[in-house]
């Protein structure tokens, strides 16, 4: 069973392999990361580790037996003063359909309260991304309104008051 780990420097090769192997799958659902992301992966990974150490982000990977990364669940735009952050996640295509994203999101929600001292998470989902909306619903998030995503597409904003976490 995959375990959730906080992002570390040594996750870099497995994380790059995960993003490469699933690039087409992701690009059909969320905006493609672009070639530069892959070419500059190691520099960016180091920057992420530094941002994480500064408390600006909290990144996590789902690691299968043998060290293969099969998913990631991230908190970005951490606002310690407001107690809020934005949630994002993605699974390897072969790891979907088994509740792994839901489990990972629930685990990160728990970490958000217990380890990171947050009280509220938001997430934004493109209108047609029903698999993603279902993950949020299962984790207890509620829709709070329509938004325009970074790529200009219409989406829905979701919010979770971490004081009202659904157990399990
Ligand atoms: C969004 C994404 C992570 C959802 O993955 P997923 O596998 O559908 O989500 P889960 O891991 O929660 O699994 C849910 C499925 O497992 C099934 N399942 C089995 N056991 C389960 C359990 N114990 N708990 C929950 N679901 C379970 C559910 O019935 C559901 O199946 P269905 O899709 O046939 O209805 C995945 O589609 C993805 O990576 N997409 C590309 C990136 C993306 O869109 N990210 C989100 C941007 S907002």
Atom of ligand 1 nearest to the CA of 129: 44
Residues whose beta carbon lies within 6 Å of some atom of ligand 1: 26, 29-30, 89-91, 96-102, 125, 129, 131-132, 135, 138
List alpha helices for the chain, DSSP H: 12-21, 23-27, 35-39, 41-53, 100-114, 130-138
* CATH number for the domain that contains residue 143: 3.40.630.30
* Of residues 97, 105, 100, the one with CA closest to residue 125: 105
Q: Which range of residues forms the domain containing residue 92?
A: 3-164
Categorize the per-residue pLDDT at 165 as very low, low, confident or very high, splitting at 50, 70 and 90.
confident
pLDDT tens per residue across span 136-159: 999 999 999 999 999 999 999 999
Region 69-94 average pLDDT: 98
Categorize the per-residue pLDDT at 126 as very low, low, confident or very high, splitting at 50, 70 and 90.
very high
Torsion of the alpha carbons at 134, 112, 71 and 106, rounded to the nearest 10:
-40
Q: How far is the CA of 50 from the centre of ligand 1 (A)?
A: 30
Q: Give CA–CA dist 68/11, Å, rounded.
A: 9
Q: How many domains does the structure of the chain reveal? A: 1
Provide CB contacts within 8 A for 122, sequence distance 6+.
84, 85, 86, 87, 144, 157, 158, 159, 160
pLDDT at 164 over 90: no
Q: Give CA–CA dist 160/108, Å, rounded.
A: 12
* Of residues 143, 68, 144, 70, the one with CA closest to residue 103: 70
């Amino acid at each position: 069973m995959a375990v959730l780990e906080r992002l570390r420097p040594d996750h870099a090769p497995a994380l790059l392999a995960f993003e490469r192997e699933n690039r087409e799958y992701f690009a059909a659902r969320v905006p493609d990361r672009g070639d530069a992301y892959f070419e500059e992966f190691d520099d960016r990974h180091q920057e992420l580790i530094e941002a994480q150490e500064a408390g600006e982000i909290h990144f996590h990977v789902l690691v299968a037996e043998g060290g293969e990364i099969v998913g990631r669940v991230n908190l970005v735009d951490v606002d310690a003063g407001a107690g809020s952050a934005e949630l994002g996640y993605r699974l390897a295509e072969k790891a979907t359909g088994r509740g792994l994203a839901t489990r990972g999101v629930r685990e990160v929600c728990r970490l958000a309260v217990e380890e990171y001292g947050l009280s509220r998470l938001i997430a934004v989902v493109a209108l047609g991304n029903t698999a993603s909306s279902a993950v949020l619903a299962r984790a207890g998030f509620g829709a709070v309104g329509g938004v325009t995503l970074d790529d200009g597409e219409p989406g829905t904003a979701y919010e979770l008051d971490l004081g009202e976490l659904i157990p399990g």
